[in-house]
Amino acid sequence: MRRQFLFLLALGLAQGARPVSALADQSSAPGQDSDHDNDNDHDDDHDEREQEEIRRAVKEGRAAPLRDILDLVARHHPGEVIRVKAAVRDGVVIYKIRVLARDGAITEIRVNAQTRTIIRAERL
């Protein structure tokens, strides 16, 4: 999970996105791997394949780059981005972004990167 987040952040920054304040999955303390991570190396392989698929989709224009998705989210849900994840579902890249609003509310926004549309926004 942590590697997936760092990849997404690096991908967005490499494509010219502005730096955002974001938090990685905090299931383990910073600088420590959880036992769960060590026991599931096959999950890392899956994550790496999925990340490669996301990179390829962005490069081929089948998915919007992260900076475009963050701009879209900022227009509709202003606040501080605190988490970014991506997954491929049925061949489509779906970004899941959590935003901390000024009032302290956290909203999770799911964006279809192919159509560049918000498909769900839910206050947590």
Taken in order of first residue, the domains within the chain and their CATH numbers are 2-123 (3.10.450.40)
3-class secondary-structure state, position 105: coil
Q: Is the pLDDT of residue 29 over 50?
A: no
Task: Enter the tokens of residue 86.
Answer: 């991506």
> What's 43's DSSP letter?
H
Token look-up 């089948």 returns 62
d(CA 79, CA 28): 26
Please answer whether residues 107 and 124 qualify as being in contact, where contact means their C-beta atoms are separated by less than 8 angstroms. yes
On the 0-12 / 13-18 / 19+ scale of CB atoms within 10 A, 104 is exposed
Convert the pLDDT of each residue in 74-97 to its tens digit.
999 999 999 999 999 999 999 999
pTM > 0.85: yes or no:
no
Crossing angle between the packed helical segments 2-14 and 66-76, to the nearest 10 degrees: 90
Q: Which of 7, 29, 93, 6 is nearest to 37 (CA)?
A: 29
Residue 28's pLDDT band, with cuts at 50, 70 and 90, is very low
Q: Is the pLDDT of residue 34 over 80?
A: no
Please answer whether residues 77 and 107 qualify as being in contact, where contact means their C-beta atoms are separated by less than 8 angstroms. yes
Q: Is the pLDDT of residue 35 over 60?
A: no
Residue 6's pLDDT band, with cuts at 50, 70 and 90, is very low
Q: 3-state DSSP: the chain helix, strand, coil percent, rounded to 5?
A: 40, 25, 35
